[in-house]
Amino acid sequence: MMVIFSALESMLPIILLIILGYVLRKAGWLGDTFAPSASRLIMNVALPASIFTSVLKNLTLKTLLSLDSGLVVCFASVAICYLVALATVVLLKVRPGRRGVMVNTFANANTIFIGMPLNVALFGEGAVGFFLVYYITNTVSTWAVGTFLIDADPMVKAEGSEPSAQRRRGIDIKRLLPPPLIGFLVALVFLLLQLPVPSFVESTLTYTGNLVTPLSLIYIGIVLKESGLTSVRMDRDTVVALVGKFVIAPLSMVGVLAAYAALFGALPATEAHTFIIQAAVPALTVLPILANEGKGDVRFATNVVVTSTLLCAVVVPIVYALLG
């Protein structure tokens, strides 16, 4: 029961903020320009600030240097998820605009808003260090790989024309180094060189970074209002994405942990259980924002985030029970 309550407690704020965005849009408080403006604000300002402050808050140089074995396991598991997901979108002929979103759903998770409080509730404060291993993996995976896959997968225009000329010309520096990835890299420089951050700068970045989750969820609510609640449904692609998130990802982690144990010795039980639970955490809250910026299928991304978040309350207790 504790696991169910923990999952529900982590899930309810997300649902309530999505409802808030829906209601505010329906009431006319949020105009047509709010959603695209919020998307740009999140991607270019709030997310880099959030990642920068999160890295410096949650990591130390000593901790970073001691995470080698866990990082190997997590990166290997995520790499397998990418390979399985890429094969899946090809075999199932997933249409453009959804491929990058689906691959990200397989490989990446909502670690901070759901994963961290859930992990503390299940395993205690002593497991925070293990959580940070997965957090680092997830952050690098999302902003060094995931965002490029979404950006490279725009929706084909209705008349079947090619993507815009701007995309055909190649990848510019902004696409090679998206602002969130820059935020992560700058934070690593500060961490490795032990550079101090002035308190007023830290406070400013913290306040700015705190905009990410509420704005992202309000954005999802706006998309739901524009597309209609009937757009939240279990179509084929959504089911495949959810299977990838809640079945393939945890099984990939279990397989990598078993292989690592056979080759080098088993990781501590709490560390292994942390990795498995984090692999089963719902899709990224910012997935619709990434889809919007990459000209992908925003409605599909919204559908995946909403359904995976709702299913979290069912899936996580099952995974936890299987862990014994």
- The domain limits of the chain are 2-155+170-323
- Which residues of the chain, if any, have pLDDT below 50? 158-171
pLDDT at 250: 97
Nearest-angstrom CA–CA distance, 190 and 187: 5
pTM of the model: 0.84
Residue entry with tokens 């901070």: 112
Cα separation values, 121 from 128, 191, 225, 292, 305, Å = 11, 28, 33, 33, 22
pLDDT at 95: 95
Q: Helix, strand, or coil here: 201?
A: helix
* C-beta separation of 24 from 221 below 8 A: yes
pLDDT at 173: 55
Nearest-angstrom CA–CA distance, 141 and 78: 8
Other C-beta atoms within 10 Å of 164: how many? 11
* C-beta separation of 304 from 236 below 8 A: no
pLDDT at 45: 93
Query: Following DSSP, what letter does each residue of 268-287 receive, concatenated?
Result: PHHHHHHHHHHHTSPPPTTH
pLDDT at 1: 60
Look up residue 145 and give its amino acid. Answer: V
Dihedral sign (CA 271, 273, 275, 278): negative
pLDDT at 172: 52
Please, what is the end-to-end C-alpha distance for the chain in angstroms? Answer: 14
- pLDDT tens for 99-152 read 999 999 999 998 877 888 788 888 887 888 888 899 889 989 998 899 999 999
For 196, counting Cβ atoms within 10 Å of its Cβ (0-12 exposed, 13-18 middle, 19+ buried), the class is exposed
Give the angle 50-238-307 at the CA atoms, nearest 5°: 55
The CATH classification number of 2-155+170-323 equals 1.20.1530.20
pLDDT at 189: 93
How many residues in the chain?
324
